[in-house]
Amino acid sequence: MSMPLSMVGEGKKVKIIEIGGGWMLKKRFHDLGLYEGTEIEVIKNDVTAGPLIIRVLDSRIGIGRGQANRIMVE
């Protein structure tokens, strides 16, 4: 079952299945290493406010909540 990245709890590992938004946002995500099929781990997610911190390979990335809502994971 898919859900937005913004709904994933801390410490969970998920796989990106779809990235929504315009081509500029998709390009930004691709530049950060976020593609369909990429496995990521949620390091920090306060669920109610603030950015998410995720781990992609050996990097930590901060993503705004609005952007995280456009990344569908399972």
User: How do residues 56-65 score in pLDDT, each as one tens digit?
Assistant: 989 999 999 9
pLDDT, residue 18, reads: 96
- How does the average pLDDT of the chain come out, rounded? 94
Domains of the chain: 3-73 (2.30.30.90)
pLDDT, tens only, 3-37: 999 999 999 999 999 999 899 999 999 999 999 99
Classified as helix, coil or strand, 65 is: helix
The predicted pLDDT at position 1 comes to 85
State how far the Cα of 43 lies from the Cα of 31, in Å rounded to an integer.
20
Whether 47 shows a pLDDT value over 90: the answer reads: no
Please state, in angstroms and rounded to a whole number, the distance separating the CA atoms of residues 56 and 36: 13
